Amino acid sequence: MDNKLITVTSPLLPDLGEFNELLKQIWSSKRITNNGQFHKQLEHDLAEYLGVPYVSLFTNGTLPLLTALQALRITGEVITTPYSFVATTHSIWWNGCKPVFVDIDPATGNLDPNKIEAAITPRTTAIMPVHVYGTPCDTKYIQEIADKYGLKIIYDAAHAFGVNVDCKSILNAGDLSTLSFHATKVYNTIEGGAMIMRDEQTKKRIDYLKNFGFAGETTVVGPGINSKVDEMRSAYGILNLRLVDAAIDARHKVATKYREALRRVEGITFYDDMKGIRHNYSYFPIFIDAEKYGITRDNLYMKMKSVNVLGRRYFYPLISEFSTYRGLESSDPKNLPIAHKMAESVICLPMHHELSENDIQRTIDCILK
Ligand code: T4K
């Protein structure tokens, strides 16, 4: 019996020969970091690929979140979702602001816009939603609320690389959006990330902030940080960008097979594609109703593990359940019933560009039997 380990994801890797050619150029130029030619090229190529005006590269997906809050001078309270990776809320905390959790919409897993207004207080200055699993938030509705109350919006778009709504990038929504290019993402630069902005002035300011605040050899314009991407990872990113469309297509095929096989299984639900959306298939979450399915989510998770199929419980526990945040009033489970239900029923199935027919079938068999 085939017992090969099937992991939840596997990194998209550029051709080693091509990468080596670019490394040779870096070696001979001796420019290895600080806004070198590959860094500039990657920012340009990404802006073109994503269909956004400006991109600023970062060393991971957490630092652009921290920097976005700094750049917009956010203070007080920030409304956010508990159903995300913990970095979303950490960025609010590191800025000395108070995260205020609002429940999610079961139809998308994203912050429920209908519940945002009730959480706004005189101290609220911003909303930080997440396009969880790459599913677009209701950006129009969230913008209406932000405009009504004079709030900023920073989208944590870590999962939303290449996601378009009506042929336009979701990354253009809100004041700023951030991406993660971590190894586990659809598109990776090993570690990496980016911020997306709409005007040149903001791009300039963000570029200063990620370079300690330097606006010239002797001028520091703000309390910046170091989040500069080196030339090796920029070169790697340029090559990976050429492969990402094929990887998304491969993921789409995996999603189609999962959906065909699992659609009629009692007690299992999942998301279908949404009309007008170009999805990136970054994750394939399924939700287990233990009563109908017959075994609990955790038992299925362990059963999969026992045959070397490694699903992941993204996002369990909820961020609001971690000790750092559990004491907040908004962390009260009564405030977050949908988020709790989803966190307790989710398993993300293996989803990446290299899954074979056999890998997919083994995963399905484990769920069906
Ligand atoms: N906002 C959101 C909404 C996010 O989801 C994230 C990160 C961030 C912000 C912050 O972005 P970054 O600062 O991380 O760029 C992973 C990632 O570390 C994290 O980037 C990601 N979200 C989060 C959802 O998942 P782990 O701890 O689950 O990954 P790990 O190491 O267990 O890997 C999972 C599987 O992937 C492994 O079983 C095998 C495979 N893998 C992984 C790595 C790292 C490989 O095959 N090769 C590899 O090099 O956190």
Q: Residue with the nearest Cα to atom 20 of ligand 1?
A: 182
Atom of ligand 1 nearest to the CA of 312: 28
Whether the pLDDT of residue 1 is over 70: the answer is: no
Ligand 1: list residues with CB < 6 Å.
7-11, 60-62, 84-85, 87-88, 130, 156, 158-159, 180, 182-184, 193, 310, 312, 314
Question: Is residue 117 over pLDDT 90?
Answer: yes
Distance (angstroms) between ligand 1 centre and the Cα of 184 equals 5
Output the CA 154–ligand 1 centroid distance in Å: 21
Rg (CA), the chain: 21
Tens digit of each residue's pLDDT (9 = 90 or more) over 206-260: 999 999 999 999 999 999 999 999 999 999 999 999 999 999 999 999 999 999 9
Measure 183 CA to ligand 1 centroid, in angstroms: 7
pLDDT value for 174: 98
Pairing of strands 152-156, 176-180: parallel
Q: How far is the CA of 9 from the centre of ligand 1 (A)?
A: 9
Distance CA 155, CA 176 (A): 6
Instruction: Write down the pLDDT at residue 346.
Output: 98
CB 364 within 8 A of CB 358: no
pLDDT (tens digit, 9 = 90+) per residue, 319-367?
999 999 999 999 999 999 999 999 999 999 999 999 999 999 999 999 9
The percent of residues above 70 in pLDDT, for the chain, comes to 100
Query: What is the average per-residue pLDDT within 100-117?
Result: 98
User: What pLDDT was estimated at residue 50?
Assistant: 98
